[in-house]
Amino acid sequence: MKNCDFFAMILLILGGINWGLWGVFDFNLVDYVFARVWIDRALYFLIGVSAVYVAFSWKVLQGRITRK
């Protein structure tokens, strides 16, 4: 399960960086790196699923972090 948590966090970080760049510089990093429409949509979908996963498992993830 830790691999899933790690992957979700990486996707959320990528999504946050993309939103920050888009908001400040009007630059879409995902569109720049993956110039194909279907890859963009798939990546945005995975970022959204990661956000839902982290939102629903927040207490479990918080417990794992504080136990270390």
Query: pLDDT grade, residue 65 (50/70/90)?
Result: low
The answer to whether residue 63 scores a pLDDT higher than 80 is no
Q: How many domains does the chain have?
A: 1
In angstroms, the CA 21 to CA 42 distance is: 20
Encode pLDDT of 52-62 as tens digits.
988 888 777 66
**pLDDT at position 1:** 63
Q: How long, in residues, is the chain?
A: 68
Show the domain range for 29. Answer: 2-67
Per-residue pLDDT at 48 exceeds 90 = yes
Beta-carbon count within 10 A of 56 CB: 9
The pTM of this model reads: 0.74
Dist CA 63 CA 13 (whole Å): 20
Report pLDDT digits (tens) over 22-31. Answer: 999 999 888 8
Amino acid making up residue 61: L
Q: Alpha-carbon distance 8 to 51, whole Å?
A: 7
